Amino acid sequence: MPVEKTLVILKPDAVARGLVGEIISRFEKAGLKIVALKMVKASPEEIERFYPSSEEWLRSAGQKLLKAYQELGIDPRAKIGTDDPVEVGRIIKRSLVKYMTSGPIVVMVLKGNRAVEIVRKLVGPTSPHSAPPGTIRGDYSIDSPDLAAEEGRVVFNLVHASDSPSEAEREIRFWFREEEVLE
């Protein structure tokens, strides 16, 4: 079935900057339907549980940052004290908890043809500095991993989007009860 549901979170920077309407309208204009929506002030425990703690996830997030550092000519050992991908992933996760609990977030479920893949395309790659124009991260942010490291935080990139149909299912169930997601 190509018709899918995916989870999107407008992160604290999107809410603080007044971009909620602007970002939601991009998804709507593309043809996706909102089937659940709420505003939440998440707790550190919730964010800790929401993002996976598996070595696989930590390594993948760590590798992403190490690759960005390499492209930007940054020495990870000097900057964050390690170049071990899983350890870097742990550092990212700790900072992510701080970021995601720094203000209210808007959590929603979007439904449509190939929703998971299409939402990722509209959102763009993780770091706004390398996200192409036309993507949400590319159009509304100029943040980058080197600036983020300078300020001791993760990259502020406005939006979370599920990265596979199976993750989408888990993430939707995490934030919404079954009857809260409309058909």
Verify binding: residue 167, Mg ion, rule CB under 5 A: no
Nearest CB to ligand UDP, comparing residues 31 and 152: 152
Verify binding: residue 129, ligand UDP, rule CB under 6 A: no
Nearest CB to ligand UDP, comparing residues 35 and 155: 155
**Piece of 24-32, 87-95, 100-108, 156-164 that binds Mg ion (CB under 5 A):** 156-164
DSSP label of 87? H
Residue 73 token pair: 């000519």
- Cβ proximity of 126 and 77 under 8 Å: no
Verify binding: residue 163, Mg ion, rule CB under 5 A: yes
| DSSP track, 4-31 | EEEEEEE-HHHHHTT-HHHHHHHHHHHT
Residues between 88 and 117 that touch ligand UDP (CB under 6 A): 92, 96
Shortest separation between residue 100's beta carbon and ligand UDP, angstroms: 8
Shortest separation between residue 182's beta carbon and ligand UDP, angstroms: 26
Burial 47-59 (b: 16+ CB within 10 A, else e): bbebbeeeeebbb
Q: Is 152 left (phi over 0), alpha (psi -120 to 50) or beta?
A: left
Q: Interface residues with ligand UDP (CB under 6 A)?
A: 61, 64-65, 68, 92, 96, 126, 145, 148, 154-155, 157, 160, 163
